[in-house]
Amino acid sequence: MLSAPWSIVPGVTRSRLLLTLLTVTLVWAVTACAGAPSTPASPAPLTSGLMLSGYNRHIRIQDDLFQFVNGQWLQTTEIPPDRTRYGAFDALADKADQDLRAIVEDTAAHHAAASSPDQRIGDFYASFMDTTHLDALGATPLRSSLARIDGLTNPTDVLRYFASSAQTGTPTPIALSINQDARNADAYIPSVSQGGLSMPNRDYYLKTDPQFVTLRDQFRTYATRVLGLAGIPDPAAEADRALAVEMRLAQAQWPAAQDRDATATYNKFAVSDATAHTPGLDWRTYLDAAGVHTPDFIVSEPSFFAALGTELATVPLADWKSYLRFKLIDDLSPYLSNDFVTARFEFRGRDLAGQQEMRPRWKRGVAAVDNALGDLLGQRYVQRYFPPDAKKRIDALVGRLIDAYRSSIDGLDWMSDATKAQARDKLSKLAVKIGYPDAWKDYSKLVVTRDDLVGNVLRSAQLEFQRDLDRLGKPVDRKEWFTTPQTVNAYYNPNLNDITFPAAILQPPFFDPHADDAVNYGAIGAVIGHEISHAFDDQGRKFDGAGNLRDWWTPQDLQRFTARTQALVAQYSAYEPLPGEHVNGELTLGENIADLSGLTVALRAYQLSLGGRPATVIDGFTGEQRFFLGWAQVWRGKTREQDLRAQLLSDPHSPNEFRTNGVVSNLPEYYTTFDVKPGDKLFRPPDQRVKIW
């Protein structure tokens, strides 16, 4: 599969502008209505867009913006038992789920023509929902794959198995993908990166804190349970061997902060030479078995693969078989009988993430169809739920944010003219994708039947792998999307130098066409600014306007930039969401830069939109106050402790509270807007406030 771009959501990414857009919307609404009166009625006054019922006005806004805006909501809202976190993004995702449910259930209720898009949607969903059939099958869908593992006789067989697993999406220590060549963005190239762990992060295997020791014991219990359900003899011993292999892999893996370094993970090798750098891994054998035939490829973490080569040669074959059996069973458990599903939930949902109840089966069914047939659902989602004028409004909004970003670059006092020229060039080449793609994926070769859920899942993975494989040797498709319209998220892709905003996120509280400009700028404006800013964060800045990994900075500018970013690292590393557990300032640096720069640019765009006129006071708040309040309500949300711990170890996004407060404590405008003074908890001395873009 292609590697994931940089998004605004954890685990899951306006001024005269919005005034203009809202005016256009109102005019469109009037002229589109047949029989409209010649003199239209005056439009209703715009609302503030503020979700005031969630405020805690006992909190001083100078001390804690996040709690002021969200405190009452946090006190009265329980995380749903089937979730590990809940907030603004999740509420929209719930709405999208309901919308998709209507589509798939309508479709599944009718037996559509064979091989039609509706037949694929309906039968995939029906195959997931037929629990009677799945319970009757038990472990039967695993038999042929388990037999193949039984037949492995040597390390080369294991390596070939890794390769064939890439075609079906089954996890192994080698994660194979087809990506743009980071130093030649006009071409695709195969890439391998470290994989193979079942828990969220290497630290879950290596840390000696009691909670991690307990989780490893729970992992062993879970592995024993599902191996037994699959009929594997002596499942406890099998589980011990599987965990031992994963412990070895964890020791060799790169830490998450190191693994996000775009330069360090670009290691291009000729296939004929690569084995010399990672002894024990015959890369020609691996790539041939995967169906990949190119002269070169990228090895993201060479030291990990050198260690893996050693492990292949030294770890007993029986241990590798135990590991591979568990990985196969664990991966397919959601699509098997209820006993497998329950076992997986009790470890992955309850023990690892703190989830109290399994998500309703229909939600899991919708997610399965969405994962396999996302663009087919996307076409129907857009037709039902995304009005055409919304795309035009957001297009214009993005244009205003880009203009504000250009102005920001021009005004930088720490960047030389030479680097500014390159930055402006990159910004001018930034592509914008709004709502839904121009072209939809083709699923005509995918066979879907109502009585073969595991087969449907595996065939879907094979289709997507082949879709990626077919890219090799062809021109890069710069119009491609890496998400679906029904996804509540947004992202920046450095290789394409583009930003994408799916239809599902373009709704309140992110964008409300009936709200005053201020909150929209603080919400969707800051989200748009966030994604633009990824083009210039600590990793995005390494790519040029064409998407090539290329150093276009003067040494002096890079030095000044690094000094500012290290101050941001220090600021966020001081935050302590759980006792003794801090935000990883290095891991979260890119997202923190994007939050800070995005809000800064959105505020500038909002101020320009006023044209020198004072903003109207609505609900007792000035325009700039509403702007910051809009920012805070985007991050309204709460997280279970287990999930928060996983986020701190492996997620490049900071927790919501610190995304809210950490950013505004650096903005001088926040101080003047709310009269923040020394002694207030959000006060940072002027020489400690970070400004980058």
Handedness of CA 346, 349, 355, 358 (dihedral sign): negative
**Tens-digit pLDDT profile for residues 670-685:** 999 999 999 999 999 9
Q: Which amino acid is at 259?
A: D
Nearest to 502 by CA among 528, 523, 522: 528
Q: Is the CB of residue 279 less than 8 Å from the CB of residue 306?
A: yes
- pTM reported for the whole predicted model: 0.91
Q: Is the CB of residue 179 less than 8 Å from the CB of residue 189?
A: yes
Reported confidence tier of residue 632, pLDDT bands at 50, 70, 90? very high
Q: Is the CB of residue 479 less than 8 Å from the CB of residue 485?
A: no
54-97+390-434+484-688 and 139-335: identical CATH topology: no
pLDDT at 367: 97
User: In this structure, what DSSP letter does residue 113 have?
Assistant: P
**Tens-digit pLDDT profile for residues 640-668:** 999 999 999 999 999 999 999 999 999 99
pLDDT at 44: 62
Task: Give the H or E element holding residue 253.
Answer: none
Using left for φ > 0, alpha for ψ between -120 and 50, and beta otherwise, residue 547 falls in left
How far is Cα 304 from Cα 521, in angstroms, rounded to an integer? 44
pLDDT at 107: 87
pLDDT at 43: 53
Q: Which amino acid is at 114?
A: A
pLDDT at 47 over 70: yes
Reported confidence tier of residue 387, pLDDT bands at 50, 70, 90? confident
**Tens-digit pLDDT profile for residues 124-140:** 999 999 999 999 999 99
The fold of the 54-97+390-434+484-688 domain, in CATH, is: Collagenase (Catalytic Domain) (3.40.390)
Strand partners, 194: 174
Nearest to 14 by CA among 392, 504, 529, 433: 529
Q: Is the CB of residue 62 less than 8 Å from the CB of residue 680?
A: yes
pLDDT at 13 over 70: no
Q: How far is CA 74 from CA 55, 93, 259, 634, in A?
A: 9, 19, 34, 14
pLDDT at 376 over 90: yes
pLDDT at 397: 83
pLDDT at 42 over 80: no
**Tens-digit pLDDT profile for residues 189-206:** 999 999 999 999 999 999
How far is Cα 189 from Cα 191, in angstroms, rounded to an integer? 6
Strand partners, 6: 492
Q: Is the CB of residue 462 less than 8 Å from the CB of residue 168?
A: yes
Q: Is the CB of residue 175 less than 8 Å from the CB of residue 253?
A: no
pLDDT at 22: 27
Using left for φ > 0, alpha for ψ between -120 and 50, and beta otherwise, residue 115 falls in left
pLDDT at 37: 35
Q: Which residues are CB-neighbours of 552 under 8 A, at least 6 positions away?
A: 419, 422, 426, 544
pLDDT at 26: 24
Supply the Cα-derived Rg of the chain in whole angstroms. Answer: 26
At 191, give phi and psi (nearest 5°): -145, 140
How far is Cα 62 from Cα 677, in angstroms, rounded to an integer? 8
pLDDT at 265 over 60: yes
The residue to which tokens 């944010």 are assigned:
401
The SS3 assignment for 432 reads: strand
Reported confidence tier of residue 417, pLDDT bands at 50, 70, 90? very high
For domain 139-335, give the CATH number.
1.10.1380.10
pLDDT mean over 45-66: 94
**Tens-digit pLDDT profile for residues 88-125:** 999 999 999 999 999 999 888 887 899 999 999 999 99
CA angle 430, 661, 9 (to 5 degrees): 45
pLDDT at 170 over 90: yes
Q: Within 41-141, where are the H helices?
A: 65-76, 88-108, 117-129, 131-137
pLDDT at 8: 64
**Tens-digit pLDDT profile for residues 217-242:** 999 999 999 999 999 999 999 999 99
pLDDT at 31: 25
| Tokens, residue 409 | 């670059």
pLDDT at 391 over 90: no
Reported confidence tier of residue 394, pLDDT bands at 50, 70, 90? confident
| Tokens, residue 570 | 């220090």
Q: How far is CA 22 from CA 16, 390, 521, 586, in A?
A: 10, 10, 13, 40
pLDDT mean over 602-624: 94
Domain parsing of the chain, residue ranges = 54-97+390-434+484-688, 139-335
Instruction: Give me the chain's average pLDDT, please.
Output: 92
pLDDT at 32 over 80: no
How far is Cα 326 from Cα 221, in angstroms, rounded to an integer? 12
How far is Cα 533 from Cα 13, in angstroms, rounded to an integer? 11
pLDDT mean over 329-355: 97
pLDDT mean over 253-276: 96
Reported confidence tier of residue 56, pLDDT bands at 50, 70, 90? very high
pLDDT at 2: 44
pLDDT at 413: 93
Pairing of strands 491-493, 431-435: unpaired
Q: Is the CB of residue 597 less than 8 Å from the CB of residue 540?
A: no
pLDDT at 482: 95
